[in-house]
Chain A
Amino acid sequence: MKRNYVMEPPGEMKAMYQAYNEAMVELVKKNENIVLLYGDFPRGAAGEFLQKEQPDRIYDVGIAEANLITTAAGMAGAGKIPFTHCHSIFAVGRAYNQIRQNVAFDKFNVKIVLCNSGMLWTFMGGSHQIIEEIAALRAIPNLVLVSPADPVETKKITRAVTEYVGPVAIRLANPPVPTIFKEEYPFQLGKAVTVVDGKDATIISTGMMLADSLAATEALAKEGINVRLLNMHTIKPIDEEAVIKAARETGAMVTVEDSSIIGGLGGAVAEIVVENQPVPLKRIGIKDKFGQSGTIEELKVAYELTAKDIAKAVKEAIKRKK
């Protein structure tokens, strides 16, 4: 099984927010228009650096997500590149209108860092595990939504969204994740990455679920099933071409996300496949349920997010091929 850009064996475990900060420390030195805004959120290395070196480029507005997002929009209105930092559940859940109206409506150059994104914020429980962020944000015009898979991709995304002029939301999952990609992995906003090539079916994965998706392809390969694995780091605008091509060439699909399949990556891929190249499709993700406290392993088992669940879904999709 040939794997593209993948480290053998996987590299160090790291939280995405740490990787983001490592990239951001360099970016704030290079680009003086970057401003960091926080909603009572730990600053990380980049925030601490700015606090010391240039305190007029860092603001914490307290536990006030609505004000956080709109203040960032105002700063972008005056030519700055604000990055906002708070828990995703509160950015999306409490400041949805501010993201829609104050940021996306006028295409302001605001970068909304969705910290502790998705379902797998283990200990915190259902009130803090956001399952609907992809569905909610995907429906907002002008907004780019990205979801890195590992620390290397997190850094590449952080640099890429700084270059990109316009509103972006960045999903950063909470748990430390293994380093999957080699440093030289080429990243392009909006272009899906073929991590593994295959002909029998396609897995389309986003965010931290890439590790489990990769494990599923390995398990399936041992059974003689050769699966293509696409890493969909840009959820919007989604790489339609790659999805259609994969549907045409492999004839069966499984989407994988740490988020609700209703309107999530699963919904996005289903829309494209049904309209362009109908093939059997299964969606791995949260199935219309709220979260709960637990270890990452317990939650993955309970919500059917394991490599085993992914592999099983692939087999079911293949079985339904004509």
Chain B
Amino acid sequence: MVYDEKLFKKLEEKAKILRRDAVEMIRAGESGWMGGSFSQADIIAALMFHHMKHDPKNPQWEERDRLIVSKAHCCETVYAALAEAGYFSKKEYQSYGQFGALLQAHTERNAPGFEYSGGSLGEGLSFALGEALAARIGASKDKSGRSMPRFRVFCIVGDGESNEGQVWEAVMAAAHYKVDNLVAIVDHNKFQSSGAVEERINIMPLAEKWQAFGWDTMEIDGHDFNQILSALEKVDKVKGKPHAIIAHTTKCKGVPSFEHKNIHFCKLSDEMYAEAIKALK
């Protein structure tokens, strides 16, 4: 697939805005999940500002594509994407994670544009599966008799999160029902809260697992827009199977001195804040 350079430029700029806005939120809320929020930022940007059909003026549009962020603690870049798209004002950032705030410490469905209240890991893919199945019920059929789902569902799953058994229950069921309007994107940043994924409980080989369960599976660099967009386009063409995109990412991507440090739940000191803002200019 050949994309216009301008599109890459636009998405790179959007991803930078998401990370910068996330820094402002973490600063305002005095805490946040910078590492995982940053590792998924490019994927979120590609989905929200190019690939997904959605309408900020009509958040409840029945045929909108859904984005379910199963690792819901990584909410800051999602909040930023929704605000940047126009679902709510960026003024909300200032009360992030505070009493009475629209933007709670984990994504909640009360915020416009939000589909899913997460916080308990391993559950989002099941929720996405439910949405995807619902999109097929009573849907019209194409010439070959295949159901044409009313919308697609994209679910960001964490690699650490994949320790949870329920992820694999959903993986099994989605393959069984051939839910081809469901796309799981694994933000494979190689770290979980307390250390390296492989050291905590080894989930490797990861792509092979999804494949063995019957998913259309591919591996990409989750920070390369060409690869992200190509993968998303490719899955639309594969019918009869759910799709897994294993996106190799870097925790805290975007602030070079923070990368590979496993910054998970963090507070931003004045120095860290200044460094992050400088890197994201």
Asked if A71 is at the interface (CB within 8 A of a chain B CB), the reply is yes
Partner-contacting stretch, out of B22-30, B122-130, B236-244, B247-255: B122-130
Within the complex, which residue of A32, A74, A80 is in contact with B128, where a contact is CB–CB below 8 Å? Answer: A74
Mark out the residues of chain A between 49 and 85 whose CB falls within 8 Å of any chain B CB in the assembled complex.
56-57, 59, 61-62, 64, 66-67, 70-80, 82
B266 within 8 A of A: no
Contact: A75 with B126, CB < 8 Å?
A: no
Q: Assuming the A-B contacts A57-B137, A106-B109, are A64 and B129 also in contact, with contact meaning beta carbons closer than 8 angstroms in the complex?
A: no
CB-based contact A56/B138 at 8 Å: yes
Closest chain B residue to A78 by CB distance?
A: B134
**Partner among B66, B126, B138 whose Cβ is within 8 Å of the Cβ of A70:** B126
CA distance A205 to B129 in the complex (A): 39
Proximity string of chain A (224-248) to chain B, C-beta cutoff 8 Å, 1 when within and 0 when not: 0000000000000000000000000
A71:B126 contact, CB within 8 angstroms = yes
- By DSSP majority rule, is chain A's interface helix, strand, loop, or mixed? helix
A255 at the B interface (CB under 8 A): no
Binds B, one of A95-103, A115-123, A262-270, A286-294: A95-103
Q: Is the CB of A67 within 8 A of B173?
A: yes
**A37 to B: closest C-beta gap in Å:** 9
Residues of A within 8 A of B115 (CB): 77
Question: For A70, what are the chain B residues with a Cβ–Cβ distance below 8 Å?
Answer: 123, 126-127, 130, 166, 170
Check A32 against B138 for contact (C-beta < 8 Å). yes
A187 at the interface (CB under 8 A from B): no
Q: Please, how many residues of chain A have a CB less than 8 angstroms from a CB on the other chain?
A: 28
23 A-B residue pairs with Cβ-Cβ distance under 8 Å, sorted by A, are: A32-B138, A56-B136, A61-B169, A66-B123, A66-B169, A67-B126, A67-B166, A67-B173, A71-B126, A72-B130, A74-B127, A75-B134, A77-B127, A77-B130, A77-B134, A80-B134, A82-B130, A98-B123, A101-B117, A101-B120, A102-B123, A102-B126, A102-B127
10 tightest A-B contacts by CB? Answer: A74-B130, A70-B126, A78-B134, A67-B169, A64-B169, A74-B127, A71-B130, A75-B130, A74-B131, A66-B166
- Which residue numbers of B lie inside 8 Å of A, CB to CB? 62, 66, 68, 108-109, 115-117, 119-120, 122-123, 126-138, 147, 165-166, 169-170, 172-173, 176-177
